[in-house]
Homo-oligomer: A and B are copies of this chain.
Amino acid sequence: MPTETFLNLADEKRQAFIETALKEFAENNYDSASINKIIKELNIARGSVYQYFTDKLDLWLYLKEYSELQKVKHIQSVDRSKYPDFWTYYEDLFIKGINFDIEQPLCSRFLYRIGYKESSKDVSEYIDNWKVKAKEIFTVWVDNEKNNGSIKKTVNTEIAVQFILSMSSSIGELVQTKYSNAIENNLASEKPLFTESIEEYKMTVKELVQLLKNALK
């Protein structure tokens, strides 16, 4: 948890700190991310960081929580009960998700790293928890959808969960690799969205979800 000092910081300064730290942890894994680089980028003293957070792990945990909150803000509007079936819902989750990737590319990348690329022992316990939770949530989903007829009952729940998780990771990777440049250019130039890229992305997501539907329905 961050200290009072950090919370009392001028919004501008606090936000600059968060962004720079996020960038460092999004581009490097936990072990390689360097507090030295962060303070040099921000032109602040080493001691400040330790007045805001007890240590590196504390900072990482805060960034994780912060990013998850940002993501929830973008996703919470997508409500399962408003969709006729799981598939349109799941599709929209990713379609809406792209807005998060565009508006919060650092958070998005950081979370992507946490979910699929991080392997430092210092943070593994927190990530493992995270994955177990994700699996539990998906398991409930799949069981519900089996009753709704969105997913056929003959397929093994655990395997369906595995299948869907793998697909989610796949779409995540797609965004990080194929569309990241477009997203970054967008942000840097403050131009309107690269509409073609976004449309292409949406089409890809739709096709992938269609495949998922073929497999599971």
- For A142-175 the 0/1 string (1 means CB < 8 A from B) is 0000000000000110011011011101100110
Please count how many residues in chain A sit with their CB below 8 Å of the partner chain's CB atoms.
Answer: 30
A117, A204, A214: residue with the most chain B Cβ atoms closer than 10 Å: A214
Bound Cα distance A199, B29 (Å): 36
Residue of B nearest to A173 (CB): B166
Q: Which of A166-193 contact B (CB under 8 A)?
A: 166-167, 169-170, 173-174
Q: Are B207 and A211 in contact (CB under 8 A)?
A: no
Q: Which residues of B contact A212 (CB under 8 A)?
A: 215
A216 at the interface (CB under 8 A from B): yes
Q: Are A29 and B155 in contact (CB under 8 A)?
A: no
A198 at the interface (CB under 8 A from B): no
Residue of B nearest to A117 (CB): B119
Oligomer copy total: 2
Q: Which residues of B contact A159 (CB under 8 A)?
A: 204, 207-208, 211
Q: Are B162 and A208 in contact (CB under 8 A)?
A: yes
A126 at the interface (CB under 8 A from B): no
Q: Are B208 and A163 in contact (CB under 8 A)?
A: yes
Q: Are B174 and A120 in contact (CB under 8 A)?
A: no
A136 at the interface (CB under 8 A from B): no
Closest 5 CB pairs of A and B: A166-B170, A215-B215, A211-B215, A214-B215, A159-B207
A-B contact pairs, 28 of them (CB 8 A): A28-B119, A29-B29, A29-B120, A31-B31, A31-B32, A113-B119, A116-B116, A116-B117, A117-B117, A117-B119, A155-B207, A155-B211, A160-B211, A162-B208, A163-B167, A163-B211, A166-B166, A166-B167, A166-B169, A166-B170, A166-B173, A169-B169, A169-B170, A211-B215, A211-B216, A212-B215, A214-B214, A214-B216
